[in-house]
């Protein structure tokens, strides 16, 4: 369940609250551990979800981090899918999923990030860890005419191109 998207015990989420207010509300909410940990380590879909990213599929193109740069080859299978309030993907070695929300145009909140834990070493491992960190902690995005998606975490970014 997402801190911003879903709530426990039938509580309604205030869509007009800021991200910080929603985080504080979520911290103060008493939750049942069975509700917090989705079955099979999966984030939970949200029924009526509206976002400019909803229904889109992306293939990773470039990592631009302060200490690590990487351009991906075309045959790379790292894909990002946004559907029903979930973002899912596959990096070099591991799958990941999380809830996401776009509270305002250009901002993004990713919550309940989960990933598999297959070993991934060397440069691929370093790149994968950085890509997942940026996705997990993204606070902003740019969507350029449906041809390029850039997720940002501070000065670091990951650029995606349409997968279809």
**What is the value of pTM for the model shown?**
0.68
* Tens of pLDDT, residues 52-100: 898 899 998 899 988 888 888 776 666 899 999 999 998 889 999 999 9
What pLDDT sits at residue 75? 62
CA proximity to 110, closest of 87, 94, 80: 87
Alpha-carbon gap, residue 162 to 56, rounded angstroms? 8
Q: Which of 112, 106, 113 is nearest to 131 (CA)?
A: 113
For β-strands 140-144 and 148-153, DSSP reports them as antiparallel
What pLDDT is attached to residue 50? 64
Answer yes or no: is pLDDT of 161 > 50: yes
List Cβ neighbours of 138 (8 Å cut-off, separation of 6 or more): 108, 110, 151, 152, 153
Q: Is 9 helix (H, G, I), strand (E, B) or coil?
A: coil
Report, at the CATH architecture level, how domain 57-162 is classified: Beta Barrel (2.40)
Q: Which residues contact 23 (CB under 8 A, 6 or more apart)?
A: 3, 4
């Amino acid at each position: 369940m997402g801190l911003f998207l879903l709530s426990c015990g039938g509580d309604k989420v205030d869509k007009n609250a800021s991200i910080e207010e929603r985080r504080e509300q979520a911290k103060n909410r008493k939750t049942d551990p069975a509700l917090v940990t989705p079955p099979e380590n999966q984030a939970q879909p949200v029924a009526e979800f509206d976002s400019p990213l909803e229904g889109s599929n992306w293939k990773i193109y470039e990592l631009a981090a302060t200490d690590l740069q990487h351009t991906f080859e075309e045959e790379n299978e790292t894909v990002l899918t946004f559907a029903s309030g979930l973002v899912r993907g596959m990096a070099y070695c591991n799958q990941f999923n999380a809830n996401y929300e776009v509270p305002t145009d250009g901002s993004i909140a990713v919550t309940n990030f989960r990933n598999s834990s297959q070993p991934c070493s060397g440069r691929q491992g370093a790149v994968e860890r950085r890509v997942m960190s940026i996705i997990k902690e993204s606070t902003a995005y740019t969507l350029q005419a449906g041809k390029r998606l850039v997720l940002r975490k501070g000065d670091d970014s990951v650029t995606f191109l349409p997968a279809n």
